[in-house]
């Protein structure tokens, strides 16, 4: 059985090395789609590839919210690489396996007619290399999808489910594969993530802006009102944490730069804001072809290495 992980990534230099090294011990191949990183993310991925880790990196540059299109494209890329199962992973999620060494052992016993498995995601407290404490309740689950004819399946935005033969499938419940989610690692990193997620959704038009990334809206509103007060409480730990250790499998980190979140915040915001402004300018220049060109840009994926 061949298990392939797929990930959309952008500007994750603080975590990408640990993320890729951990999953290199669990997956047969990891395909990553970069959205136009301006920090050290791509340099780190090149170094990991040069070490011999089984990673492929593609790139697309679109400032708008087309997650379902990109997720489905990644699924199809994985099928072309011989995947029997495709596991969808965000860069701040670390796959954990209960009662087995690798996910293939769990996926091998999934009922034959089941197209997707549900993976619960729990928010863990950092550090990444010492994941011990998590929230008691899971967050929105993700899925692993079996190899199907590509026309039969569309992956939902956020990787929370799929449409199989036109019907929504949230995946078969199971508890042996789950995700340790580490979204909050520094106050400025949290602020950057929230701002950029809302910016991308709003830039995609009212229908998407009113729905996508709404979980980031309270943080953005608070940052607009009183950023210092918000930053002061951004890393506050919730009550009721439970101990449920997840071993980090990736070994030492050798390519991750020293943290400088203020510099990263300014660099990334400057680059993304410019990209969004240029996209808007192009739309004004060629407004007759707005929707077609936006979707064509999203589909224009180039393998980097």
Residue 164: band (very low, low, confident or very high) from pLDDT cuts 50, 70, 90: very high
Q: How buried is residue 281: exposed, middle or buried, by Cβ count under 10 Å (0-12/13-18/19+)?
A: exposed
Please indicate, yes or no, if residue 210 is contained in any of the structural domains.
Answer: no
The domain spanning residue 134 has which CATH number? 3.90.550
Please indicate, yes or no, if residue 194 is contained in any of the structural domains.
Answer: no
Q: Tell me what pLDDT residue 65 has.
A: 63
Q: Tell me what pLDDT residue 84 has.
A: 98
CA distance 39 to 257: 10
Does the pLDDT at position 229 exceed 70?
A: yes
Strands (E), the chain: 3-9, 29-34, 55-59, 85-88, 93-97, 116-123, 131-134, 139-146, 153-155, 162-164, 167-169, 177-181, 242-246, 302-303
Of 55, 43, 115, nearest to 84 by C-alpha is 115
| Strands 153-155 and 139-146, sheet pairing | unpaired
Q: Please compute the mean of the pLDDT values over residues 240-260 and round it to a whole number.
A: 95
Q: Within a 10 A sphere around the Cβ of 246, how many other Cβ atoms? A: 22
Beta pairing partners, 243: 133
Beta pairing partners, 58: 33, 303
3-state SS assignment for residue 116: strand
Q: What percent of the chain has pLDDT over 90?
A: 64
Q: Tell me what pLDDT residue 288 has.
A: 65
pLDDT in tens, 263-294: 988 888 888 888 888 877 777 777 666 666 76
Please indicate, yes or no, if residue 302 is contained in any of the structural domains.
Answer: no
CA distance 156 to 163: 7
CA distance 4 to 109: 17
Residue 45: band (very low, low, confident or very high) from pLDDT cuts 50, 70, 90: very high
Domain count, the chain: 1
Please indicate, yes or no, if residue 208 is contained in any of the structural domains.
Answer: no
Q: Phi then psi for 289, rounded to 5 degrees?
A: -115, 30
CA distance 284 to 299: 21
Q: What is the mean pLDDT of the chain?
A: 91
Please indicate, yes or no, if residue 263 is contained in any of the structural domains.
Answer: no
3-state SS assignment for residue 256: coil
Q: Comparing 208 with 78, which gets the higher pLDDT?
A: 78
Q: Please compute the mean of the pLDDT values over residues 159-171 and round it to a whole number.
A: 96
Please indicate, yes or no, if residue 233 is contained in any of the structural domains.
Answer: no
Please indicate, yes or no, if residue 139 is contained in any of the structural domains.
Answer: yes
Does the pLDDT at position 250 exceed 80?
A: yes
Q: Phi then psi for 169, rounded to 5 degrees?
A: -130, 115
* Residues sharing a CB contact under 8 Å with residue 213, sequence separation 6 or more, in sequence order: 65, 197, 198, 200, 201
Q: Tell me what pLDDT residue 246 has.
A: 97
pLDDT in tens, 293-304: 767 777 788 888
Q: Comparing 42 with 203, which gets the higher pLDDT?
A: 42
Torsion angle of the four alpha carbons 191, 197, 202, 208, in this order, in degrees rounded to the nearest 10 = -140
Please indicate, yes or no, if residue 8 is contained in any of the structural domains.
Answer: yes
259 neighbors 12 (Cβ within 8 angstroms): no
Residue 193: band (very low, low, confident or very high) from pLDDT cuts 50, 70, 90: confident
Task: Find the domain containing 142 and state its range.
Answer: 3-181
Q: Tell me what pLDDT residue 20 has.
A: 99
**What angle do helix axes 41-51 and 16-24 make, rounded to 10 degrees?**
30
pLDDT in tens, 87-136: 999 999 999 999 999 999 999 999 999 999 999 999 999 999 899 999 99
């Amino acid at each position: 059985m061949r298990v392939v992980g797929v990930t959309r990534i952008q500007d994750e230099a603080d975590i990408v090395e640990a993320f890729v090294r951990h999953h290199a011990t669990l997956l047969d191949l990891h395909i990553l789609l970069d959205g136009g990183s301006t920090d050290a993310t791509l340099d780190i991925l090149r170094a990991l590839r040069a070490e011999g880790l089984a990673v492929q990196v593609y790139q697309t540059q679109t400032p708008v919210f087309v997650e379902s299109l990109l997720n489905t494209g990644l699924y199809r890329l994985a099928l072309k690489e011989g995947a029997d199962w495709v596991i969808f992973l965000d860069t701040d999620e670390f796959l954990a396996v209960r009662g087995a060494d690798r996910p293939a052992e769990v996926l091998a016993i999934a009922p034959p007619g089941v197209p997707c498995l549900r993976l619960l995601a729990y928010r863990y407290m950092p550090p990444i290399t010492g994941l011990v404490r998590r929230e008691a309740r899971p967050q929105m689950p993700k899925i692993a999808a079996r190899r199907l004819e590509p026309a039969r399946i569309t992956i939902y935005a956020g990787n929370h489910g799929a449409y199989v033969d036109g019907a929504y499938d949230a995946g078969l419940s199971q508890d042996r594969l789950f995700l340790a989610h580490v979204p909050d690692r520094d106050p400025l990193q949290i602020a950057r993530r929230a701002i950029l997620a809302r910016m991308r959704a709003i830039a995609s038009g009212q229908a998407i802006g009113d729905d996508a990334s709404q979980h980031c809206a309270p943080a953005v509103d608070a940052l607009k009102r009183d950023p210092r007060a918000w930053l002061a409480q951004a890393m506050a730990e919730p009550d009721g944490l439970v101990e449920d250790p997840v071993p980090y499998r990736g070994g030492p980190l050798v390519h991750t730069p020293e943290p400088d979140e203020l510099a990263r915040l300014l660099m990334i915001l400057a680059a993304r804001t410019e990209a969004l402004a240029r996209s808007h300018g192009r739309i004004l220049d060629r407004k007759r072809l707005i929707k077609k060109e936006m979707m064509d840009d999203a589909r224009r994926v180039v393998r980097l290495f």
